[in-house]
Structure 1
């Protein structure tokens, strides 16, 4: 049985939108490398915010994406959802929620972003412990 790889990205940028900008950069990188990514957002508002950012974060790039319930079939390489399990994705999960999604193990890789705010760091440490207890291979990256 293969264990999911989990990458924690520790953000150093203290700007309020740092998490969203890093999420866009990582999604662009994954897309350009041919990966399919499901983004788990905490709310419909967060999902819609990320959807808007992906249209505008860079003038010279485009990341094919759609929100849950919208867009073509089959879905584009980046699919943004909230409060539901992805049906057709098993490559990369970008988790933008406060908890470990129940469906994380169907993915080869999970990306977790760790903002600079102490409250968010505490939640990230809890997710780290959960993944470790489940036998995931964990790597940490400083940005």
Structure 2
């Protein structure tokens, strides 16, 4: 059973939070798949991860570039796990099909988007009904993540 973490983005953007979480994932010796809702979002995240900080390097690749099976972080719209990654990051309403092939699934959603919040609530109900361990995280006023459920 996968552990699911729901990250409610209210004070920070996906572009600010995702690189930090990916860095922590790699520090643990894990690999990740970032599943986006569209090819355009994959392309934008790919460009962002190369430039998000001057003093950092986040090794990654995007679907269609080749070597998908050995990427420490793979950006994709697909539902497969070609690298056998430990963690799935689902962003921008991406499908969470196949979460059972991961140790952890991080579903990140924009709190300013009512449709995204509604989708997250539906996913929460589904994964809880399926018996997955799920937790809900929200940012404090200081920007730290706090477990709310």
TM-score, normalising length: structure 1: 0.87
Query: Any stretches of 5+ residues in structure 2 without a counterpart?
Result: 140-149
Hey, what's the Cα distance between the residues in 2 that align with 1:40 and 1:99? Answer: 6
Which of 1 and 2 has higher RCO (CA within 8 Å, sep 6+)? 1
Query: Any stretches of 5+ residues in structure 1 without a counterpart?
Result: none
Please give the per-residue CA displacement for 1:111-133, whole angstroms capped at 9, x wherever unaligned: 01132222211111111111111
Hey, what's the Cα distance between the residues in 1 that align with 2:62 and 2:119? Answer: 26
- Give the aligned partner of residue 98 of structure 1: 93
Hey, what's the Cα distance between the residues in 1 that align with 2:7 and 2:24? Answer: 14
Hey, what's the Cα distance between the residues in 2 that align with 1:70 and 1:99? Answer: 20
Deviation, structure 1 residue 70: 1.2
TM-score, normalising length: structure 2: 0.83
Runs of 4+ in 1 over 3 A off after TM superposition: 71-74
Deviation, structure 1 residue 97: 4.3
- Number of residue equivalences: 138
Hey, what's the Cα distance between the residues in 2 that align with 1:6 and 1:52? Answer: 27
